[in-house]
Structure 1
Amino acid sequence: MSRQATRDDEDPASRWWATAISDISPGVIRLRGYPVADLIEDASFAQVVWLLLRGDLPSPAQARLLERALVAGVDHGPQSPAIAIARMAATCGVGINNAMASAVNVLGDVHGGAGQQLMELLARIDADDALDAVRAALADLKARGIHVPGFGHRFHPVDPRRDPLMAAVERAVSDGVVAGRAYRVATEIERQLAPIPMNIDGATAVIFSELGFTPELGRGLFVLSRSVGALAHAWEESGSGLRNKGPIPRTSLPAYTGQPERRVGHGG
Structure 2
Amino acid sequence: MTTARRAAQDAVTTEDVTDWWSTSISDIEPGVIRLRGYPVESLIGTASFPATIWLLLRGELPAEHQARLLELALVAAVDHGPQAPSIAAARMAATCGVGLNSAMATGVNLLGDTHGGAGQQCMEVLAAVRHACDAEGVPVADAVRMLLAEYKSARRFVPGFGHRFHPRDPRRDPLLSAVESEVTAGRLAGGHLEIALEIEAQLATGRPRPVPMNIDGATAVIYSELGFEPELGRGLFVLSRSVGILAHAWEERGSGRRIKGPIPPPLLPTYRGPEPRKPQD
Note if 1:69 corresponds to 2:73: yes
Gaps of 5+ in 2: 1-12, 205-209
Distance 1:224 1:108 in 2: 13
Q: Following the alignment from structure 2 to structure 1, what is the Cα–Cα distance between the partners of residues 255 and 262?
A: 15
Q: Does 1:29 align with 2:33?
A: yes
Does residue 198 of the first structure (1) align with residue 202 of the second (2)? no
- 1:14 maps to 18
Which of 180, 183, 189 is the equivalent residue of 2:190?
180
Could you report, residue by residue, the CA deviation over 1:93-121 in whole angstroms, capped at 9, with x for unpaired residues?
Answer: 10010011011101000000000001001
Identity within the alignment, %? 66
Stretches (4+) displaced over 4 A: none
Is residue 122 of structure 2 the alignment partner of residue 118 of structure 1? Answer: yes
Q: Secondary structure at the match of 1:42?
A: coil
Q: TM-score, normalised by structure 1?
A: 0.94
The letter for the 1-side match of 2:19 is R
Which deviates further from its counterpart, 189-198 or 45-54?
189-198
Aligned-partner Cα distance in 2 for 1:101–1:165? 28
Q: Distance between the aligned counterparts of 1:246 and 1:192, measured in 2? A: 43
Amino acid at match of 2:50: A
The corresponding residue for 1:167 is 177
Are 1:250 and 2:265 counterparts? yes
Instruction: Name the SS for the 2:139 alignment partner.
Output: helix
Query: Offset of 1:145 from its aligned partner?
Result: 2.5
Paired residues, what number? 258
User: Which residue pairs with 1:98 in the alignment?
Assistant: 102
- Choose which of 136, 140, 147 in structure 1 pairs with 2:157: 147
Unaligned ranges ≥5, structure 1 = 1-8
Is the counterpart of residue 235 in structure 1 residue 244 in structure 2?
Answer: no
RMSD: 1.2
Instruction: Return the TM-score normalized by structure 2.
Output: 0.90
1:158 alignment partner, SS class: coil
How big is each residue's C-alpha offset from its partner over 1:157-197, in whole Å with a ceiling of 9 and x where there is no partner?
Answer: 11100110010110111112211011000000000111111
Aligned partner letter, 1:207: I
Change (3 A) 1:140 1:219: same
